[in-house]
């Protein structure tokens, strides 16, 4: 049980000075700058979860036969800590990250981490590296992950694992900030299939998407859109984000769960929209329908969402047969309103009627 796991804190004797830190977080980009500390907890078949430490961020030393290097038993989460205008530090729905982490662990035949232990690990790292949280529109991106560390080349679930949390001060995910992005619809590659690992947040899913993302970049696009593996017709998700469609009658549609990642931002957007009386349907939507609705004007807005990007409009769609725009290629009113409301809750700028914020 989590209450039996005691944390040991070992401050980083070589942590950066305040001036050096301020220079790094002034324009951090995304995922390039890291804080002074990390959290690690180990698991073995004999002892369960143990040896919880807040320690200096440093490289791991692992055996060349470590199972993660050969069979990719690895999962992760993405979440953020925010500093409000009043100086308060908040997390956004971290309990949902803890639950999803364990759903991924179950799918990948890995040990589940007690939710309260997951949350304590996050909070301890944020507390010791709080000075790294940028002011203004920046945030502290948190990356909890777990990997198999068994020294064994047989094909079976490992018997040793390491859970770790690292942190990175970040700015905008896309270079253009909240400006509409362009996307490439992949004809050649699929991200997931029924019975696969699409709903798990594991590194292998992202590795398999990189060739399609590279294809998107070659076509001048920011992101790739994947269609279903069976019929190669139904829109599923992007390489790292969920997608929504806004129609002229005010209704919203988003692909159903099953083979796609159950995004926490996705669930929050659905709740915010329904709270405003917007009808949100979780249903299949074909790429042929997408093109026809954009041409007829029935489709007014498209946006994508995720922890890193929050909510961003899609303005231009490219595919092997050509390209088309959504409306005039600019961000729509529904998209902007949902983004404003979500960010205001995350940053403590409005009442949290949903109980999503966790203040540290």
pLDDT tens, 306-322? 998 899 999 999 999 99
For 1-33, what is each residue's pLDDT tens digit?
345 899 999 999 999 999 999 999 988 889 999
Asked if the model's pLDDT at residue 336 lies above 50, the reply is yes
Residue with the larger pLDDT of the pair 176 and 272: 272
Q: Residue 1's pLDDT is what? A: 39
Helices (H) and strands (E) in the chain, counts: 8, 18
Burial (CB < 10 A; 0-12, 13-18, 19+), residue 283, is exposed
Q: Residue 205's pLDDT is what? A: 94
225, two tokens: 């859109």
Q: Residue 29's pLDDT is what? A: 87
CA-closest candidate to residue 39, choices 223, 200, 165, 182: 165
Residue with the larger pLDDT of the pair 26 and 67: 67
125, two tokens: 């790292």
Domains and CATH numbers, the chain: 2-170 (3.30.470.10), 181-346 (3.20.10.10)
Q: What is the DSSP string of 103-161?
A: HHHHHTT-PPPPHHHHHHHHHHHHHHTGGGS-STT-EEEEEEEEEE--B--SSS--SEE
For 212-231, what is each residue's pLDDT tens digit?
999 999 999 999 999 999 99
């Amino acid at each position: 049980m989590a209450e039996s796991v005691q944390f040991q804190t070992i401050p980083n004797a070589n942590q950066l000075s305040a001036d050096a830190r301020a220079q790094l977080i002034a324009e951090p980009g995304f995922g390039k700058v890291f804080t002074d500390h990390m959290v690690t907890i180990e698991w073995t078949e004999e002892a369960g979860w143990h040896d919880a430490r807040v320690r200096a961020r440093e490289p791991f030393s692992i055996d060349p036969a470590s199972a993660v290097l050969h069979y990719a038993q690895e999962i992760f989460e993405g979440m953020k800590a925010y500093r409000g205008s009043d100086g308060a530090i908040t997390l956004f729905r971290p309990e949902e990250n803890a639950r999803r982490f364990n759903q991924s662990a179950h799918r990948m035949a890995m040990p589940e981490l007690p939710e309260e232990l997951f949350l304590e690990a996050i909070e301890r790292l944020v507390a010791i590296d709080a000075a790294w949280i940028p002011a203004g529109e920046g945030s502290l991106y948190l990356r909890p992950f777990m990997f198999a560390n068994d020294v064994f080349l047989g094909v079976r679930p490992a018997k040793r694992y390491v859970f770790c949390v690292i942190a990175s001060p970040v700015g905008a995910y896309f270079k253009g900030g909240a400006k509409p992005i362009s996307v490439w619809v992949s004809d050649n590659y699929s991200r997931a299939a029924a019975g696969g690992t699409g709903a798990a947040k594991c590194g292998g899913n992202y590795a398999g998407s990189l060739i399609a993302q590279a294809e998107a970049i070659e076509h001048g696009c920011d992101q790739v859109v994947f269609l279903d593996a069976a019929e190669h017709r139904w829109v599923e998700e992007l390489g790292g984000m969920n997608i929504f469609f806004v129609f002229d009658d005010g209704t919203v549609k988003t692909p159903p769960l099953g083979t796609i990642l159950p995004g926490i931002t996705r669930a929050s957007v659905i709740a915010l929209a329904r709270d405003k009386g917007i009808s949100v349907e979780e249903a299949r939507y074909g790429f042929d329908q997408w093109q026809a609705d954009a041409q007829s004007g029935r489709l007014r807005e498209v946006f994508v969402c995720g922890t890193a990007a929050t909510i961003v409009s899609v303005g231009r769609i490219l595919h092997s047969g050509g390209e088309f725009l959504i409306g005039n290629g600019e961000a729509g009113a529904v998209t902007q309103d949902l983004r404003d409301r979500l960010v205001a809750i995350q940053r403590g700028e409005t009442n949290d009627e949903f109980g999503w914020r966790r203040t540290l």
